Amino acid sequence: MIKIATWNVNSIKARLEGVTRWLEQARPNVLLMQEIKCQTEAFPAEAFEALGYHAVAKGQKSYNGVAVLSDQPIEVALEALPGDEADEQARYLEVLTQGLRLASIYLPNGNPPDTEKYDYKLAWMERLGDHVAGLLASEQAVVLGGDYNVIPDAVDCHDPSVWANDALYRLETRKRFRRILNLGLTEAYRALNPRSRAYSFWDYQGGAWDSDHGIRIDHFLLSAQAADRLASCSIDREPRGWKKASDHTPVVCEMSA
DNA sequence: ATGGTCGGCCTCCGA
């Protein structure tokens, strides 16, 4: 069994202790990280190598940044999402490891809507769809994990009315997300848990964690060759309750080898 | 209950 996790850590420097603690207890074969919030050279690869992981990162100053850890060697395939040479935000890292093609994805938040930030989100989703179409045509086992900043359905948030016009939930966002899924991807958590309510993010503000006012925005999207091997997908709420927690918690899926 | 979210960073932006 191959265990793969995705976790928006909200700064790897602030979260190093919590992430290493979770790696030691959960022992995933692969961890996809988002929002490392450091430059590529500053990524603390040694701390993960000491735990038996290979590590690659694509970072930038202050914002965004994605990384991949694997207990097998990693070959980097892409350090940016194709389709816009002018886009300098570190939001996409595609690798080959464990006999799989994996990507760590940090899709733009897009708030506030009706601004250039939202336009950038929609354009990024369009580029992701174009790239995914090419990946699917290759008929490989592909695992695309990350913070998609998309609440797929009403069941994926505590109160849809609160999110109605938010960039994470508004109809245009969900339509674009479905368009990507409809290329032939399986959304792992929802495919295996058809009606369960589980969240992967709780805002730091307003006691959202204590009242369980969360949203599910961290997802695994799988090609058919990967989905055929999917055994489980679950959300590990525990790290969200720790001191100095990220506002996201890990999502984990298991695939037969 | 004299507080109220966090992280990075140059004092405000992004989430």
Residues 104-133 of A with CB under 7 A from strand B: 108-109, 111, 117
Task: Tell me how crowded residue A200 is: count the other CB atoms within 10 A of its CB.
Answer: 25
Rounded percentage of chain A residues whose pLDDT exceeds 70: 100
Please report the sign of the dihedral spanned by the C-alpha atoms of residue A2, residue A194, residue A202, residue A127.
positive
| Burial bucket for residue A72 (CB in 10 Å: 0-12, 13-18, 19+) | middle
Residues 150-169 of A with CB under 7 A from strand B: none
- Angle A210-A238-A2 from CA coordinates, rounded to 5°: 145
For chain A, domains (ranges, CATH) are 2-255 (3.60.10.10)
What is the pLDDT at residue A252?
A: 98
Residue-wise pLDDT tens digits, A170-190: 999 999 999 999 999 999 999
* Bases of chain B with protein Cβ within 7 A: 4-9, 14-15
At A47, is the secondary structure helix, strand, or coil? Answer: helix
For the entire predicted model, the pTM comes to 0.97
Residue-wise pLDDT tens digits, A123-169: 999 999 999 999 999 999 999 999 999 999 999 999 999 999 999 99
Beta strands in chain A (DSSP E): 2-8, 30-34, 54-58, 66-70, 75-78, 92-97, 100-106, 142-147, 186-187, 218-222, 230-235, 251-255
At A204, is the secondary structure helix, strand, or coil? Answer: coil
**In chain A, which residue ranges form alpha helices assigned H by DSSP?**
12-26, 45-49, 116-137, 160-163, 171-181, 188-192, 224-227
What is the pLDDT at residue A164?
A: 95
Burial A127-155 (b: 16+ CB within 10 A, else e): bbbebbeebbeeeebbbbbbbbbbbbeee
- As a whole number of angstroms, the distance between CA A201 and CA A220 comes to 15
Query: A203 CA, B15 C1': separation in Å?
Result: 9
Q: Give A155's DSSP letter.
A: G
- Give the pLDDT band (50/70/90) at residue A48: very high
Residue-wise pLDDT tens digits, A17-35: 999 999 999 999 999 999 9
Residues 30-89 of A with CB under 7 A from strand B: 37-38, 61-64
Average pLDDT (A89-99) is 98
Rounded percentage of chain A residues whose pLDDT exceeds 90: 99
Q: Give A111's DSSP letter.
A: P
A14 touches strand B (CB under 7 A): yes
A211 touches strand B (CB under 7 A): no
- Tokens 């602030």 locate to A14
Average pLDDT (A67-71) is 98
What is the pLDDT at residue A228?
A: 98
